[in-house]
Structure 1
């Protein structure tokens, strides 16, 4: 049903005009607001997300509050140190190690952080891990050493491991 608005209703407003004609006008009130539902994620999931995004301040707070264990293997199959290496964030890797993350921590397939740094082409992280004593001879579950995972075109990593173009 279409309502025609006369000059009278336009100047007075429909509600005021209806009331002046003796029509009962009920005000429509907004429905009561439903309570806001919040979602709470487990600490490990939140922490893993902070590591992936390199949120150093929050990572530090979580660790200091003992809300996480650094050797926890997440559903991704990796620990926080592996996630940090895969993000390519050296500062995050340094922070985790400063708080006790193990440079030899293995993921569910036996990969160390050094395996991941080599596989994903992060020479700056590999150099740092090696400076802390990361063992380049450790093999993953497939029998691969970190140097076995270096792409042939990553000259910086090849040089770091003493591998020439002809090796």
Structure 2
């Protein structure tokens, strides 16, 4: 006859296996995709789009679509990749801002130049009645020149 003494502070083998089991947390495709766009993980963006696991038209909880998130990240390569995969040049966020509005407001002349080269509408108004050029910071000479708002040197 054998007596087994168990330490009250120890855990059972079943409890141990629960503690050591890897935890898998799954996020919706849109959440993962939005994060990839924000961080400019270009190698992960294409497969999401090609696999039709996300829609470029989706407006996220942030009030913006992927193209807006890419512009705000300041990552021209990411913007170019989304446009190559069919993002809407004139997609509006919840406040009627287009990607060009965001590029102007956040001071990204290289992104604004690229969007304009694709035919972005300079005259389009957001819900506050502002054109993209109305949102340019007075200190951003490159954007002001791009919109013909200051004389070049």
TM above 0.5, one fold? yes
Match of residue 73 from structure 2 = 87
Match of residue 144 from structure 1 = 130
Q: TM-score with structure 2 length normalisation?
A: 0.87
Q: 2:52 matched to 1:66?
A: yes
Mapping for residues 7-156 of structure 1, pairs under 5 Å:
31-32=12-13, 33-34=17-18, 35-156=21-142
Cα displacement (A) at 1:31: 3.4
- Answer with 1 or 2: which has the greater Rg: 1
Aligned CA RMSD, in angstroms, stands at 1.7
Which structure has more relative contact order (CA 8 Å, sep 6+)? It is: 2
Q: TM-score with structure 1 length normalisation?
A: 0.80
Equivalent pairs counted in the alignment come to 142
Structure 2 residue matching 1:107: 3-state secondary structure: coil
Cα displacement (A) at 1:37: 3.3
Cα displacement (A) at 1:38: 1.9
Structure 2 residue matching 1:141: 3-state secondary structure: coil
User: C-alpha separation between the residues in 2 aligned to 1:159 and 1:125?
Assistant: 14
User: C-alpha separation between the residues in 1 aligned to 2:4 and 2:35?
Assistant: 54
- Aligned structure 1 segments of 4 or more residues deviating by more than 4 angstroms: 24-30
Cα displacement (A) at 1:30: 6.0
Q: Deviations over 1:7-47 (max 9, x none)?
A: xxxxxxxxxxxxxxxxx896978633104432111110000
- For structure 1, the residue ranges without an aligned partner over 5 or more in a row are 1-23
Q: Deviations over 1:53-95 (max 9, x none)?
A: 0001100010111000001000000000000000000000000
Structure 2 residue matching 1:115: 3-state secondary structure: helix
